[in-house]
Amino acid sequence: MKIAVASGKGGTGKTTVATGLAYIISEKGIPVNYLDCDVEEPDGHIFLKPEIETEKPVGVLVPKVNLDKCKNRKRCGEVCQYGAIVNTEKTALIFPELCHSCGGCSLACPENAITEVMRETGTIREGKSGRIGFIEGRMNIGEVRAIPVIKEVKKRCPADGITVIDAPPGTSCPMVETVRGTDFAILVTEPTPFGLNDLKLAISVIRQLSLPFGVVINRYQRGFPEVEDFLSSEKIPILSRIPLDRRIAIAYSHGRLIPQAVPEIKRNFSEIFYKVKEIIDEGVSGSKR
């Protein structure tokens, strides 16, 4: 079972839910892995405090021009749609940060003067946090493409047990790449006008991917019923309501796992797990029928 934890905006408590859920599953004696695919700003390690066992660089293929063979026919610049190769009067200039690794320039070169070389764009760290397997991607400073690093994180996802995947915030390509191919998406929101607006955007994306999903309302308090009214009208399940509690905020600021710091909140995370499992099981049974 692969469970993605996502949100339409940052700051809703996505990592709080993802790390807390992984912890609760491990407490039940079920094999679980936590994947941090928020590679631009990974922070799951702050709460899980893993012992890192391996750290490996990851990269993408970019062109390298052999100037001895290049006759500057400008085919490479014409085929590149991203401005990663620019032809001057005398040579071809490469801007590797703009390259999308399509390989079109090397195919277009009539002199075969372009080869592809690896350029490091990030790091994959793997380890353990108690009984939780931990995998994290980190983009190098200055990089603009998160997806290659995210794909490398997902490649290392173990086949057994349950995997909790912490997705990047928002609804752009990194979030889509992270949730694609998972079994269930948990969308974390907050009971505010901004929270509801961005939740609707996230729901639209998840529905286009045809994924089963449910919603966790974090920092829940009465006074803004529009979120629950919307979910009720759309028949979207509410997996749990995590209360607005000063103790949770204090624990978060100290980098502590919420179910450990506030024991009564454990039932919220157990509720999330069992509701997700129930929805997935029902979907499997329905497909068999």
**What pLDDT, on a 0 to 100 scale, did the predictor assign at position 283?**
77
Task: Report helix, strand or coil for 148.
Answer: helix
User: In this model, does residue 102 exceed pLDDT 70?
Assistant: yes
**What pLDDT, on a 0 to 100 scale, did the predictor assign at position 144?**
86
Q: Which residue has the tokens 């329905």?
A: 286
| Residues contacting 62, CB < 8 A, separation 6+ | 84, 94, 96, 99, 101, 116, 117, 118, 119
Q: Give 81-99 pLDDT, tens digit per residue.
A: 999 999 998 888 999 989 9
Which residue ranges does the chain devote to CATH 3.40.50.300?
A: 2-31+161-288
CA-CA distance, 160 to 215, in Å (whole number)? 25
Q: Would you say the C-alpha torsion 205, 3, 167, 240 has a positive or negative sign?
A: positive
User: In this model, does residue 239 exceed pLDDT 70?
Assistant: yes
CA-CA distance, 44 to 16, in Å (whole number)? 8
- Taking the domain 2-31+161-288, which CATH number applies? 3.40.50.300
Give the neighbor-by-neighbor strand order of the sheet with 51-65: 51-65, 114-129, 132-139, 32-36, 162-166, 2-6, 184-189, 213-220, 238-243
| Band of pLDDT at residue 282, cut at 50, 70 and 90 | confident
| Band of pLDDT at residue 222, cut at 50, 70 and 90 | confident
Residue pair 136/36 in contact (Cβ under 8 Å)? The answer is: yes
Q: Give 30-81 pLDDT, tens digit per residue.
A: 999 999 999 999 999 999 999 999 999 999 999 999 989 999 899 999 999 9
User: In this model, does residue 188 exceed pLDDT 60?
Assistant: yes
The token pair that represents 52 in the structure block:
């890192």
**What pLDDT, on a 0 to 100 scale, did the predictor assign at position 201?**
97
**What pLDDT, on a 0 to 100 scale, did the predictor assign at position 287?**
54
User: In this model, does residue 288 exceed pLDDT 60?
Assistant: no
- Taking the domain 59-120, which CATH number applies? 3.30.70.20
Which one-letter DSSP state was computed for residue 140? P
Which residue ranges does the chain devote to CATH 3.30.70.20?
A: 59-120
Q: Give 112-121 pLDDT, tens digit per residue.
A: 999 999 999 9
Among candidates 55, 97, 62, 57, which has minimal Cα distance to 76? 62
| Band of pLDDT at residue 182, cut at 50, 70 and 90 | very high
User: In this model, does residue 254 exceed pLDDT 90?
Assistant: yes
User: In this model, does residue 289 exceed pLDDT 60?
Assistant: no
If one counts every other C-beta atom within 10 angstroms of the C-beta of residue 173, the result is 13
The token pair that represents 5 in the structure block:
């934890």
